[in-house]
Structure 1
Amino acid sequence: MQKQVSDILELVFLGNTVQQILIFMGIMLVGYLFKTVLSRLLSEILFGVVVKRFNTDVSKDEFKRLLVTPLGNLTFLVFLYIAFDQLTYPPELGLPAQDEIGLKRILQRIYSIFLIASLTWVVMRLLDFFGLIFSKRAAKTHSKLDDQLVPFFVDFSKVIVVIIGFFIILGTVFDVNVAGLVAGLGVGGLAIAFAAKESLENLLASFTIFLDHPFVVGDLVQVGDITGTVEKIGFRSTRIRTIEKSYVTLPNKHMIDKPLDNLTLRTFRRVTFEVMLTYSTTPEQMRLICQEIQAYIDQHPRTNEDGQVRFYRLGPHSKDIRIFYFINTIEWEEYMKIREEINFEIEAIIARHGATFAHPPAAYYLPQQQ
């Protein structure tokens, strides 16, 4: 029985014994089934090294979430190499040697590209993890500058890693003289620069933002028709969470080329509107209403004394009072709450003096014909 099994294992199929083919299939199966387990094990080992070195409070689950998939791919590529190393190419196929142009060389180069790409992916995920570490540390400081520097340098480092990976592929896979290529870019580099003109402008704009500090992460800004809170200043763009809770991405060039109003740097929020009363309101009522609203706004603990309440126009359908004041807060919710409180009191003042609001006809609200 043992001799029969040995004879079967020694049978040759396409230039390989059955034993070689079984070993190949076994390694492939082990690699496919255990790549996730091995990647988790490698993640735990790496996490232990990082925690020992950086004393981080980032959880192990976050680390695994970033690294399990790229490490799994890298592990499977290693098993793939070991498995194919067990086989021999059938001489009957007449394939050229590995150092000659042919199937062997093409497959070897494709494998090298995938291997380098997987290593690059692992390094980029490690950079993301270090970004998490330093982001959590930056969140504990009072300065907002480090909150925006961390994601910027993470993105910048990832671009550098991708460029290095690309040059490694050129040098090791395609035998390109990278040093000579970089030195000889010349006119070609100029053409690339023109093709990447917009990206370069956004990159320079990002450095301008970091040097001039027109805004930082967490500031409420208005750029054109967009108003929202800056959540991230990246390598190429700035991301803003609008008041409507949508997520807007603007190129950095757009952020410095257009007028930008940093609403966070305001000490007060302005409120201005009109109150329209009926023509049955007497001059004495108008005077007392204006005086009482003015006194209330001046004495309110969250406004300054620059507010103005004026009977400023005899409109076609009403007597109009313009109210103008400032609220000393930059928080939107608090601003709305204080404004509502003042509006209720204005309405109560008007009611106490026996005046009523005017109701212009419907045509008043229609757009005027040109």
Structure 2
Amino acid sequence: MVNAEFFAQQFLGNSIQNYCIFAAILLFGLLFKRIFSRLLSRLMFRLFMRIQTGADPKIFIDLLMRPVEVLILFVVVYLAINQLDYPLQEVIFRRSTLVNSLPSVFEITLIEIIDNVFLFLFIVSSFWIFLRIIDFIAYVFEYKATFSESKTDSQMVPFIKELSKILTIVFAVFVILGAVFKLNVATIIAGLGIGGIAVALAAQDTLQNLLGSFTIFADKPFVVGDLVRIDKFEGTIEKVGFRSTLIRTLDKTLVVIPNKKMVDSPLENLSLRNLRRMKFNIGLKYETPVDTMKKISTEIQNFVNNHPATSPDTLVSFDSFGESSLNIQVLYFIEIVDYNEYMHIREDINYRIMQIVTENGAGFAFPSQTVYNEYIGTKAE
């Protein structure tokens, strides 16, 4: 009887029993929220068993652990607060109004504010979970894209992922406006039709870049991993986003180019070419005999033609008389497109050309001048 009377005592409008229930719910939730969040994450993972082939379930659980914990925390705190009756029900705001759509006396209680705050937090944490689920689905498809021969899949997945997350965030905003702030979402959407014109004019460049991204995906002038040259930049495509494309240059710097420029500017897709053209001159000394020059030209042409990485249409010919050298032009095509392999093949051919020149007793010319002095003497008388 003593215990019952003790718990029935009132303090600030609530009994001690209510405060004990409040503390017990709060303590229980804080202690076990991590266990509950892991169990709930595993339960949600079962819904995605069909698309998780090859993916690690741990990744899904790690992605959802934090937002699920936050959601459980909000639920626990809300349930604990609901055990208290007073002074949460008292009016903290009252205003008379003459608007026909509202009552003559507009009142707001503390419990209504708390309900709206927690409703807002519930919606935010729930959509946070949806965003993490989108991340997981994108991860699965990115993993599957690694086994696909087409590079388009690797390019489309990040784009669709960003688009899905943006649409989810926009939908969450409308849900919050309707559920928390009690606004007419249909009226807001209708109003956007008028205001959308002003927004479109203000964000004209952004819209052009967005349309540029759709053009890139439709026409496919390049895909992620292609080596391209645009304007003064040459590098590998790393990512195609909503507004811009990321290019990793040969100097390993990251260049961000707006999609509008990627579509409107002349662009060379170097990965689509089937040959790499090499053209240069070999300058030999002027004292090199004609027969030696012919032999050097023939040996160079035979070597390059028989090289396994070149096409059999090499052209080596005596090109011109230079200011300080006899120029032999070498023109050939390398069939390897990869840049690193191309550089090694080019180096191998250059070394062999040097050997052919030296083995034939010739030498490479360098800029030089010959000065002739004529001595004119005088006869003594």
Into which bin does the TM-score normalised by the smaller protein fall? 0.7 to 0.9
RMSD: 2.8
Deviation at 1:166, TM superposition (A): 0.8
Work out whether 1:345 is the aligned partner of 2:352.
yes
Rg larger in 1 or in 2?
2
Distance in 2 separating the partners of 1:79 and 1:164: 26
Are the equivalent residues in 2 in contact too, given 1:74–1:118 (CA < 8 A)? yes
| Structure 1 residues 91 and 49, CA gap change in structure 2 (3 angstroms) | closer
Equivalent residue runs for 1:242-261 within 5 Å: 242-261=249-268
* Structure 1, unpaired ranges of 5+: 362-370
| Structure 1 residues 347 and 91, CA gap change in structure 2 (3 angstroms) | closer
Equivalent residue runs for 1:1-370 within 5 Å: 3=2, 6-51=4-49, 53-54=50-51, 56-90=53-87, 95-96=92-93, 100-101=107-108, 103-360=110-367
Worse-matched range after superposition: 114-123 or 299-308? 299-308
Distance in 2 separating the partners of 1:246 and 1:32: 47
Deviation at 1:258, TM superposition (A): 1.5
Instruction: Note the alpha carbon deviations across 1:128-166, whole angstroms, 9 max, x for none.
Output: 211222233333333333332333222222111111111
| Structure 1 residues 93 and 285, CA gap change in structure 2 (3 angstroms) | same
Distance in 1 separating the partners of 2:107 and 2:328: 90
Are the equivalent residues in 2 in contact too, given 1:96–1:104 (CA < 8 A)? no
Which amino acid in 1 is paired with 2:244? S
TM-score (norm. length: structure 2): 0.83
Which amino acid in 2 is paired with 1:297? V
Deviation at 1:249, TM superposition (A): 3.9
| Structure 1 residues 49 and 205, CA gap change in structure 2 (3 angstroms) | same
Are the equivalent residues in 2 in contact too, given 1:15–1:91 (CA < 8 A)? no
Aligned length: 357
* Structure 2, unpaired ranges of 5+: 95-105, 369-381
Worse-matched range after superposition: 41-50 or 236-245? 236-245
Are the equivalent residues in 2 in contact too, given 1:95–1:104 (CA < 8 A)? no
Are the equivalent residues in 2 in contact too, given 1:310–1:322 (CA < 8 A)? yes
| Structure 1 residues 304 and 100, CA gap change in structure 2 (3 angstroms) | same
Which structure's residues are more often helix, by fraction?
1
TM-score (norm. length: structure 1): 0.85
* % same residue: 43
Instruction: Note the alpha carbon deviations across 1:317-367, whole angstroms, 9 max, x for none.
Output: 444444332101211222122112211211111111122334558xxxxxx
Worse-matched range after superposition: 76-85 or 163-172? 76-85
